[in-house]
Amino acid sequence: MKKMATVQVTPDQDAVVSEIEIAAPPERVFQALVEREQALQWGSNEAFEIISWEMDPRRGGRWGFVARETKPSGAYAVTEFIHHGEILEFDPPRLLVYTWFTNFHEPPSHRTVVRWELTPIANAKGTRLKVTHSGLAPLAAARRGYSQGWPGLLQRIRDHFEK
């Protein structure tokens, strides 16, 4: 299971769909999505550090996390990237759906949805994990926030990762 994540955009340009295979059972992957200690570890990367993370793991529960640049670049309109939302579907270990709001969307009240789907593979010893982030197309003014550095930074993260 050495394959990298695949990433596609739906034809209507509204959603990003990404998939990856993980050599651990769905129960284990699901835990990593909803447990604070684990999310704090895998959610941070070279460029961004998760400084707070919480989730009330049930349908209707709130979730949120705050990320900060590891080396402040001064390139952003915001210094802390605040994400939050509400859990719409909670069905361990196969489905987790929540709304995703962030302070760098314009407007921040714009609702996007993140859907995690877990399918057992390799006799349930592995997991195919699919994430669908929808509601992105109508973010009319969002490009301002992203054009101020966010793209370049993510590009760097990706370049680093793919090296």
Q: Which of 62, 121, 139, 148 binds another protein (CB under 8 A)?
A: 139
Structure tokens at 56: 């009330």
Residue 13 engages another protein in binding (rule: CB under 8 A): yes
Q: Which of 25, 64, 85, 93 binds another protein (CB under 8 A)?
A: 25
Angle at 129 between CA 123 and CA 42, to 5 degrees: 115
DSSP strand pairing (95-102 vs 112-121): antiparallel
Q: Residue 96 CB, nearest distance to another protein (Å)? A: 13
Residue 143 engages another protein in binding (rule: CB under 8 A): yes
- CA–CA gap between residue 119 and residue 133 (Å, rounded): 18
Q: Which of 12, 60, 71, 163 binds another protein (CB under 8 A)?
A: 12
Residue 24 engages another protein in binding (rule: CB under 8 A): yes
- CA–CA gap between residue 122 and residue 111 (Å, rounded): 36
Contact 136, 15 (CB under 8 A): yes
Q: Residue 31 CB, nearest distance to another protein (Å)? A: 8
* Burial label, 11 (beta-carbon count in 10 A; 0-12, 13-18, 19+): exposed
Q: Which residue ranges make up the site for another protein (CB under 8 A)?
A: 1, 4-5, 7, 9, 11-14, 16, 18-25, 28-29, 32-33, 38, 41-45, 122, 125-126, 129, 131, 133, 136-143, 146, 150-151, 154-155, 157-158, 161
